[in-house]
Structure 1
């Protein structure tokens, strides 16, 4: 299904519907025009269903994740499949993929009669997504059926509300049959015995005058066979809307480009919703139909956890702390590696790829999370884990100062040698973060010195001409450009900036779907593309990267597979994993606005305006303790805004709870240091 969408993408390209693209000149073969299928509406996107097309999206609540395949077939009829995942209803063997999963087809809906006759197939007319999926269909002339699909916020259920509306001038009679499909799983197949799976709704009949509507609620749910579960549909739908509004109201992006604003808003939703109430506590999970009730050193520790302080989502912060607590449980006096993933609600682990540089990932992520959260007591909680991971990493260094690992986050999909660039750059970044977190001047100095030695070793060992560019080799013997050459830029390593920038944006690496994992391959992982965007913005190459970033954002938000960043292709068929959305949000926070934590209450910013923009702002930032006043949660936070005053100069303002604390002109070069009052 998704492969066919890719053929469409490559067949006709895309037209980005922006009015303020600016004068940047780009290679049209590298960045084609974007013909959006979707348009932006208030808080969401919408499309008219006029041709054969199918897509898929994921939505999550505390006890369920739902993957909805939807669209229109060649005859115009509605296609719908609901795949439900219950992460805490574990199957045997209790491994990474042991969540209970069931699929419910369109036929698993209540039968409908109109005026005593079986209703015809639904003709799909319009689709809207705003955190809840709405499918508008026509049953017959003047009679519409709308399906609203939404995960229950707190219960193990998908809610589907069917609303029938009479647009004719006559009275119609309707009947919805009761739906009661049940399954009881074998006790020996579940870690907690038998599970009861249900699809059910009540019967309803009556008449509708012109202009009148009625609705029937369908629940798709699962539970322990002896468990009492009651879903108050109105309460759960309201709770979902309230949660969506909470995410929208915090960490708000304001730019002249609606596509970037909306893509950022959706990224917050997908990053924050994929948190599950497991027996090991709240845990963030990638999702995608495969990865639940489990954490990874890259997805959670490195990608998602550092984002949650900026959003100020209490569940995200708690899930981050839980993940670090679980990783810390594997610290040991002989410095055997911490597992790459802790699975099954914290009861097991996976280390099938050996040491992927996981301690470098964890130490970096924990340091950035603690700094951004701005809480000294919380920083003390994660400090022992950071120190242990730093010491583990030191013990993997060779005489040349290079850190060895068995693989990297791609786990052997591409060659990574005995020592790879990714692990070593993250080791460098983890030292910088630990130094900034330290309250001991002597320790801070030692960590900074160690970081500089690590940086020098990286430049000696990995510097190379690859593919005709003076950039980095990924490992000893590497002869093809790799996507992760972007990582040094992310952390301000500019020694080989010119060649690396050129390589990342060259046809050898840049494809219609972002940066290829390796030159001459057809494989792409969005995580590498998003790190690339962030790195290019970090080192001041905003005008070069913005056309690519616009194109990518437009494609993911309004193209053929929407509305989130994805995992990879061809592996996984572009699953909408949650942590990739966190990485998208971090492109804006840490790339476009250049926010870089340097202390618990201090940070640097570099909010460079694209040339065509007169203004941009990021408001209600919750990081660095800004979400609290006198220990209580505050509705306001930290606001950063910048306005163009001359061609090369901007006026930057920073406010804390409405009070102006930075008010200055800026030339767009040296970062601005901000220290928040205690």
Structure 2
């Protein structure tokens, strides 16, 4: 067992991960996980306290029950006290649960024992459509005698006020009173934590039936875009990334909207999280809910693309009916153009591409209007919104604009717009030269990039040019990224010598290292990171940041993890509505790796990379019983074309 494995708290199972609490000597320990449905999100803190007893706390969020003021953080949130839960009394005393096993596979399962000989299994999961967190509790008599259990199910209700009137937060249980369990007999109880407008009728809820619907949603996502490699940690981390990325979608007044979550960010969209990070991943996942949410996010920005070139908002909040512009111009137009172009290409839908084209053009025209005398793109800040200095022109905005120009040129060719294709391709070339001239620098002894004029400390976002295919400073940038100045046990530090980290930059860093051809080193780093996030102390997803937010499970970071696999490991880059390049980075020790049920370019296909003799590899595309084989060498780029457009 390697050192990282020896430090694991969790281990893999056939369907997820499991923590053997009964064998754990490092107690007490608690963790949190977020789970979401279309009208609810729940952040569950769970674990074992000093006495070895179950510790559990349920924070429930209702994004569409808007509070006052109706700003970014105006989702109704309620922390349910222990008094809101059914209590189990045996012989006049409350039953104490001592967890033996905790598992997660999209549903949080807690198995406990009691001194009375009753085993208790709790399952927690969000409703698919109802505004409720559900919990099922299975009581099993493991003794040789009958046990009388008194179930105290309090009628819990709390009130709050919001823009729609009075809100009610309630606990509903389907069992109360005394029950007798014979030896080996069990009883399952359903509990729902519900939020609603007080004047609206409370519809019946069925937690036991809802578990099957949650399972169906989980399985549906697992069956799409399946990763198959010899590394089971990567496979499982990727499965969970799909779930977290695609579950955090809410049914708002503006339609389905993807949201970061984390107890703060719901019923709102950002050009980085939803469009730059998540959209290019969803176009390969092909989940209808996620695709629709992405289209809605893209459409919400269109009314703000006017003739006066006023920056588009930093975010569109309150279910799409208000905006926040506190960060000024973060390079949002560059984020939009980059993400929207990739999304349109990979979706393979000509009608969608035609719809998005004017918005992409507006964003790129806006970027051109912000070109400085040095040829780079000016912006007020970047996606960190002033948390770290970014100068008047930063590397992130210019890199994203370059990507936007590059992919928009490809999209223009597909839409038979040769003049725009040529214009944007030329703009990309000019910007690439300007990025080298303006940002290229020796920083802390590395031939890499300064983040802004005057910057002399290494920054994590020096990885971005590589992710866009800008390779002029590849060697120095790779060396800087993996140096102890930037790389830590949690990935990239935001700034060298600082303890702050944001997983989004680490994930872009993995993508950059794969694109730079550093397959073996990148796999080692990615495997260590994935193991830490999946099996360590805070599981099972990529996180937002630390210390800010204390490593919240924001959703779009999981989408970025997915792109490390699709764009990094497999090197899938859209080049048209029915074409892409594939530059697989298959590790030397792997005989093969596959992506199955890929939904992109209007097609559903399997992609398999097989290792041959020496450096020989083959890329096999299978679709509807047909198979095409591409033979080549390690590091080679293959062109894949599909027949027709969707």
| TM-score under structure 2 length normalisation | 0.97
What residue in structure 2 maps to residue 549 of structure 1?
526
Matches within 5 A, 1:349-388: 349-388=323-362
Q: CA deviation at 1:306?
A: 1.4
Q: CA deviation at 1:108?
A: 2.5
Matches within 5 A, 1:557-596: 557-596=534-573
Q: 2:7 aligns with which of 23, 32, 35?
A: 35
Number of residue pairs matched?
A: 635
Kindly indicate whether the alpha-carbon contact (under 8 Å) linking 1:542 and 1:610 is maintained by their aligned counterparts in 2: yes
Comparing 129-138 with 640-649, greater Cα deviation is found at 640-649
Q: 1:82 aligns with which of 58, 61, 64?
A: 58
Q: 2:288 aligns with which of 306, 310, 314?
A: 314
Kindly indicate whether the alpha-carbon contact (under 8 Å) linking 1:14 and 1:555 is maintained by their aligned counterparts in 2: no
Asked if 1:446 is matched to 2:423, the reply is yes
What residue in structure 1 maps to residue 152 of structure 2?
177
Q: CA deviation at 1:197?
A: 1.0
Q: 1:419 aligns with which of 388, 393, 402?
A: 393
Matches within 5 A, 1:16-35: 16-17=4-5, 35=7
Q: CA deviation at 1:647?
A: 2.6
What residue in structure 1 maps to residue 635 of structure 2?
669
What residue in structure 1 maps to residue 19 of structure 2?
47
Kindly indicate whether the alpha-carbon contact (under 8 Å) linking 1:96 and 1:291 is maintained by their aligned counterparts in 2: yes
What residue in structure 2 maps to residue 24 of structure 1?
none
What residue in structure 2 maps to residue 223 of structure 1?
196
Asked if 1:106 is matched to 2:106, the reply is no
1:84, 1:380 → 2: CA distance? 40
Kindly indicate whether the alpha-carbon contact (under 8 Å) linking 1:154 and 1:236 is maintained by their aligned counterparts in 2: no
Matches within 5 A, 1:331-346: 331-346=305-320
Q: Deviations over 1:376-409 (max 9, x none)?
A: 0011111111011011111001122111000000
2:13, 2:4 → 1: CA distance? 16
Matches within 5 A, 1:93-492: 93-114=69-90, 116-140=91-115, 142-185=117-160, 189-201=161-173, 202-230=175-203, 231-438=205-412, 439=415, 440-492=417-469
Q: CA deviation at 1:524?
A: 0.3
Q: What is the DSSP-based 3-state SS (H/G/I as helix, E as strand, rest coil) of the residue aligned with 1:318?
A: helix
What residue in structure 1 maps to residue 605 of structure 2?
638
What residue in structure 1 maps to residue 620 of structure 2?
653
Kindly indicate whether the alpha-carbon contact (under 8 Å) linking 1:160 and 1:217 is maintained by their aligned counterparts in 2: yes
Q: What is the DSSP-based 3-state SS (H/G/I as helix, E as strand, rest coil) of the residue aligned with 1:622?
A: strand
Q: CA deviation at 1:141?
A: 5.1
Q: Deviations over 1:297-326 (max 9, x none)?
A: 100010011111211111111110100110
Q: CA deviation at 1:199?
A: 1.2
1:588, 1:229 → 2: CA distance? 43
Kindly indicate whether the alpha-carbon contact (under 8 Å) linking 1:82 and 1:104 is maintained by their aligned counterparts in 2: yes
Q: 2:504 aligns with which of 527, 544, 548?
A: 527
Q: CA deviation at 1:657?
A: 2.5
Comparing 124-133 with 138-147, greater Cα deviation is found at 138-147
Q: CA deviation at 1:274?
A: 0.2
Q: What is the DSSP-based 3-state SS (H/G/I as helix, E as strand, rest coil) of the residue aligned with 2:192?
A: strand
What residue in structure 2 maps to residue 633 of structure 1?
none
Kindly indicate whether the alpha-carbon contact (under 8 Å) linking 2:249 and 2:259 is maintained by their aligned counterparts in 1: yes
Q: CA deviation at 1:249?
A: 0.4
Kindly indicate whether the alpha-carbon contact (under 8 Å) linking 1:284 and 1:300 is maintained by their aligned counterparts in 2: yes
Q: CA deviation at 1:167?
A: 1.2
Q: CA deviation at 1:573?
A: 0.3
Q: Deviations over 1:104-159 (max 9, x none)?
A: 13342112122x32233211111000000011111225311111101011000011
Kindly indicate whether the alpha-carbon contact (under 8 Å) linking 1:97 and 1:292 is maintained by their aligned counterparts in 2: yes
Q: What is the DSSP-based 3-state SS (H/G/I as helix, E as strand, rest coil) of the residue aligned with 1:552?
A: helix
Kindly indicate whether the alpha-carbon contact (under 8 Å) linking 1:80 and 1:105 is maintained by their aligned counterparts in 2: no
2:357, 2:165 → 1: CA distance? 40
CA RMSD, Structure 1 to Structure 2 (Å): 1.3
1:443, 1:60 → 2: CA distance? 41
Q: What is the DSSP-based 3-state SS (H/G/I as helix, E as strand, rest coil) of the residue aligned with 1:179?
A: coil
Kindly indicate whether the alpha-carbon contact (under 8 Å) linking 1:67 and 1:83 is maintained by their aligned counterparts in 2: yes
2:625, 2:260 → 1: CA distance? 36
Q: Deviations over 1:576-606 (max 9, x none)?
A: 0000000001000000000000000000001
1:40, 1:216 → 2: CA distance? 28
Q: What is the DSSP-based 3-state SS (H/G/I as helix, E as strand, rest coil) of the residue aligned with 2:76?
A: strand
1:354, 1:563 → 2: CA distance? 34
Asked if 1:511 is matched to 2:495, the reply is no
2:2, 2:163 → 1: CA distance? 48
2:47, 2:81 → 1: CA distance? 13
Kindly indicate whether the alpha-carbon contact (under 8 Å) linking 1:531 and 1:583 is maintained by their aligned counterparts in 2: yes
1:509, 1:130 → 2: CA distance? 33
| TM-score under structure 1 length normalisation | 0.92
Q: CA deviation at 1:638?
A: 1.1
Q: CA deviation at 1:645?
A: 1.2
2:624, 2:454 → 1: CA distance? 53
Counterparts in 2 of 1:196 and 1:141: CA distance versus 1, 3 Å: closer
1:204, 1:649 → 2: CA distance? 69
1:608, 1:658 → 2: CA distance? 26
What residue in structure 2 maps to residue 10 of structure 1?
none
1:607, 1:112 → 2: CA distance? 56
Q: CA deviation at 1:14?
A: 7.9
1:418, 1:376 → 2: CA distance? 37
Counterparts in 2 of 1:86 and 1:666: CA distance versus 1, 3 Å: same
Q: Deviations over 1:406-442 (max 9, x none)?
A: 0000011110000000000000000011011112223
Kindly indicate whether the alpha-carbon contact (under 8 Å) linking 2:83 and 2:154 is maintained by their aligned counterparts in 1: no
Kindly indicate whether the alpha-carbon contact (under 8 Å) linking 2:136 and 2:208 is maintained by their aligned counterparts in 1: no
1:107, 1:549 → 2: CA distance? 43
Q: CA deviation at 1:16?
A: 3.8
